[in-house]
Structure 1
Amino acid sequence: MSADVVHLGRAGAVVTITLDSPANRNALSRLLRTQLGARLADALADPATRVILLTHTGPVFCAGADLTEAGTPDEPGTPDLPALLTTLWHSPVPVVARLAGTARGGGVGLAAACDLVVAADTVTFAFPEVRLGVVPAVISAPLRRRVAPHALHALFLTGEPFDAARAREIGLLDAAAPPDLLDSEVRRLADMVLRGAPGALATTKALLRDPPVGGLAAELAELGRVSHEHFTSAEGREGVRARAEGRDPAWVQELPG
């Protein structure tokens, strides 16, 4: 039986998914990809899940592709990196990435597909693909949507490592904190997300990830429809009523402990 290299834990409404394969620096092996896909599916299938926290054990968040498996085909049903990035990108539940250690290549792409990325200020990043004679193709999709284009261009072409301060400057990170304050910063952001209504968060994510197309008039018409739908929804009515009554809305009051 294969060892578990990805674990799932729950604390109230927050589900933590932990990459736990430090022996190979949490590289994206077939086993890790399979278990990560399964843990994400489990978390998203549970209606009690309000935030997903993606984290790791060991000194490396994720080293990217498992080069020991390069050139050999996956078993049928093994999720590839595009499938994992798609799941994270389109998850209706906000996903927070917590990086206490290094990220390289596909590991940076994994973090970039999350909604919020928080790292220790000692963490470094790099895209070593061109130095290996390969291309950062798949991970370019979420990274192009997150990172300043000129910076990504230079980092992809040079493979030069960069630190957390630079990562925050170019848009890869939402926050960086000293290692001993990393967990409190992650918790602060997760707590703020938990104050949002689940349906409103899911729709907001969808609008940001896949905005309407067809020109400005068509986009505004669709966005007007979405806005009206949520103002008149049960969540919208409850949120407005709670604000007027000076109390937390039901989705905050009903959070599991």
Structure 2
Amino acid sequence: MTAVVHYERVEAEGRPHAVVTLDSDRNRNALSAQLLEELRTALHRAAGDDVLAVVLRAEGRAFCAGADLAEAHREGMEVSAQRLAGLLRAILAHPLPVLARIHGPVRAGGLGIVAACDLAVASEDVTYAFTEARLGLTPAVISLSVLPRMNARVAGTTFLTAETFDARTALDSGLITHAVPPDRLDATVDELVAGLTACERQGLEATKRLLNADALMYLDDRVDDMVALSAELFASDVSRRHLAAFLR
């Protein structure tokens, strides 16, 4: 089986960081079981490596297209939802800061990953959408990382309308931390990584625990209910009708 997530240790001036790359362009980096498992493995590897930060990036047309609906149809959404919830928690609880480098569109479940990251740097031309409501679903599991980050009014509007929104809205809402011209994306990531890796690991770990304590409590308090809700809606006649059209 060809790997869809790659891990690289990068060292600049003796201050190393990890680069984790999603590489499944055939399905626009959708959150398949393989991608989620390989991503969790890469994050675990970074936690045990002598690095000071993790950059999460992607190859291909999109950063992440959301759930792998064909796989969820075969396995049942409860299994897929539990996997995604576990990944969101793994990012929030990771000992090191995780920085998302966002070069292309992000949809549905991919927004949960972006929100879980400590820093999210995006090209100004990237678009976003919580598409779930149009399929008879709701952003249940990803709300566990999204709602502690996003402005409530913007979250309400984007969840309910399922409309595409731009980088300025994503930035102003708190979903991402930086929106930059496309030709400044890598330079901005490098600048932030330099700032992170100038710190001591002990300080980074303690600060991340401080910053994410409330977000982790929010997730842990609600995860079972959100997984159950996601599975219930996915199994409904309304959702099945949309899924059948999508998979046709």
Sort the TM-score into its range (normalised by shorter chain): 0.7 to 0.9
Whole-angstrom CA distance in 2 between matches of 1:169 and 1:37: 29
Instruction: For residue 117 of structure 1, give the secondary structure of its aligned residue in structure 2.
Output: strand
Query: In 1, Cα distance between the equivalents of 2:210 and 2:54?
Result: 19
TM-score by length of 1: 0.78
> How many percent of aligned residue pairs carry the same amino acid?
42
Encode CA deviations 1:130-183: one digit per residue, 9 max, x unaligned.
101111101101111111011101110110110111111111111111111100
How much has 1:72 moved relative to structure 2?
2.7
Q: Secondary structure at the match of 1:80?
A: helix
Partner of 1:56: 58
Equivalent residue for 2:33? 30
1:71 Cα deviation (Å)? 2.9
Please tell me whether residue 172 in structure 1 is matched to residue 175 in structure 2: yes
The aligned counterpart of 1:68 is: 70
Aligned residues: 207
Q: Which runs of 5+ in 1 are unaligned?
A: 212-257
- Which residue does the alignment assign to 2:91? 88
Paired with 1:63 and 1:99, the residues of 2 have a C-alpha distance of 12
SS at match of 1:210: helix
* Aligned with residue 99 of structure 1, among 99, 102, 120: 102
Q: CA deviation at 1:26?
A: 0.2
SS in 2 for 1:17: strand
User: Which structure shows the higher helix fraction?
Assistant: 2
Matched, 1:204 2:207: yes
State the alpha-carbon separation in 1 of the partners of residues 17 and 68 from structure 2: 29
List aligned pairs for 1:150-169, cutoff 5 A: 150-169=153-172
Q: Which residue of 1 aligns with 2:114?
A: 111
Counterpart of 1:56 in structure 2: which amino acid? A
Q: CA RMSD in A?
A: 1.5
Deviation, 1:45, is: 1.5
SS at match of 1:65: coil
Given residue 4 of structure 1, which amino acid in structure 2 is its aligned partner?
A: A
- Determine the C-alpha separation between the residues in 2 that align with 1:106 and 1:178: 25
Q: What is residue 218 of structure 1 aligned with on the other side?
A: none
Tell whether the 8 Å contact from 2:43 to 2:94 is kept in structure 1 after alignment.
no
CA distance in 2, matches of 1:201, 1:49: 11
Larger-Rg structure: 1
Question: Which has the higher relative contact order, 1 or 2, with Cα contacts under 8 A spaced 6 or more apart?
Answer: 2
Using structure 2 for the length normalisation, give the TM-score: 0.80
1: CA distance, partners of 2:52 / 2:178: 21
